[in-house]
Amino acid sequence: MRLVGGIEGLASRRRPDGLELAALGGLALAGSVLVVASVERPATALLVAAAGAAVLLILARTDVAILLVVATAPLEGAFSSGPAGISVTKLAGLLCLASFVVTVARQRRVLTFEPGQAIVLGILGIALLSTLQAEHTAEALTTTTRYASFAAVYLIVTQFGDDRLLQRRIAWTLALSCAAAAVIALNGYLNGRQELATLPHMNQNDLAFVLATSLPLMFVLLGASRLPRLIALLAIALVSAALLLTLSRGALVGVAAGFVLFVLTDRRRLQLTLTAGALAAAGTVFVIQSNPQRFEEAFSLKQRVAQQNVTTRFEAWDAAAQLATDHPLLGIGPGNFRFHFNELTGEPIGALTLTVAHNALLDVGAELGLVAMCLLVLYLALTFWRLTVLLGEPHPNRGFISALRVSLTIATVSAMFLSEQYFLPLWLVGGLTSAIWSQTRQRAAETLAAPARAG
């Protein structure tokens, strides 16, 4: 009887599917190669084994893959792009997408569909069509690939972002990654390698945008116990100092707008926020006073080019508006604004050439057309409306939702002066909002349907 029961038990066990068998075969082959390689080059074999283990972990855990994308966004400018413009952000995005596909296939996960996804995919579809008719195809393809990676991350976050534990881990990942980016930027600034606080391969405005939009989520961490709170305060101080020393007016205007919104709508945590802000300001003053001459030089440089910057911004906005009206359907192609700036503004070839319009909406209108620009406006408006509605309801994670709305406000206002549509913050905030919204509505529908089923 035991033998029969054992045979029946073995027969009833689930047989491995094709995906699992392929994975086991790949592991066996990789193990054999590593054994042979370890004899000749043990250090290289150990490094490859560690990298392989990390990749397997990421493929098996989509939440870890999302955190990898979040971690690489602030630090992207610390590394130069590889062949064909491949960056750490794009590699992280590809791994995240692969992990998502594996998870869906392995778990047979039921996907959630909602209107925000249609908007994001609509912009991506227009970008692909615009790439086909762009005059400079290589630049268009590079820009579209970057947007496609963030669109994919948005779609993935909409499926997993309702997990409160993952939300908190995202906040901590942003805090630590932004703090690391701030340390690198401040070190380059204080050592004189950079005129302003920025990363070696990143414009200071782009770094400022990422840091500014991450700050509200970092303030959520102040409710933790003593040691984590001290770590969060240190991260806030470092990020605040680096943000100020970028001297990015667009990002600082966005922060001001976000703070005004917070004061007007959420006064319960105002005292804690002001205390943390005062400590951040003290840290900023300390950094400035450690080398006041560097700050004076950077500020003088910014003052000298301020008027020229204002003039070129207006010229860029006019040029982008003209391109949008001349090419309303598909624009001139992603990443192609730079090739039209001098012609439309009368600047001689070889003189100052702006590569972007310094306004996300006008940039999208010029490069992708008016339909894509309207879709971006709809995306921002829908995300803000959803966050506002959620804050009007009882929710266990109200602080995180409030931080998302402040972050979205900073991103939207800053994007009126900076072209940041191809950076993670806009799409991460939207993806998290979509996930929270969908799950909240689903739970509400299930609660309403429960009495009917019971009857």
Least Cα distance to 212 among 431, 368, 412 occurs for 412
Report the pLDDT value the prediction gives residue 30, as an integer from 0 to 100: 46
Give the other-Cβ count within 10 Å of 450's Cβ: 10
Measured in whole angstroms, how far is the alpha carbon of residue 350 from the centre of its chain?
33
Report the pLDDT value the prediction gives residue 69, as an integer from 0 to 100: 92
Give the other-Cβ count within 10 Å of 392's Cβ: 8
Report the pLDDT value the prediction gives residue 410, as an integer from 0 to 100: 96
Report the pLDDT value the prediction gives residue 50, as an integer from 0 to 100: 65
Least Cα distance to 422 among 170, 235, 202 occurs for 202
Residues of the chain whose pLDDT is less than 70?
1-52, 81-85, 224, 267-270, 272-273, 276, 279, 294, 297-299, 301-309, 346-353, 450-455
Give the other-Cβ count within 10 Å of 345's Cβ: 18
Least Cα distance to 423 among 97, 89, 133, 23 occurs for 89
Least Cα distance to 59 among 2, 87, 19, 5 occurs for 19
Name the pTM for this structure. 0.85
Report the pLDDT value the prediction gives residue 108, as an integer from 0 to 100: 84
Give dist(CA 132, CA 138) in Å, integer: 10
Give dist(CA 125, CA 127) in Å, integer: 5
Report the pLDDT value the prediction gives residue 360, as an integer from 0 to 100: 94
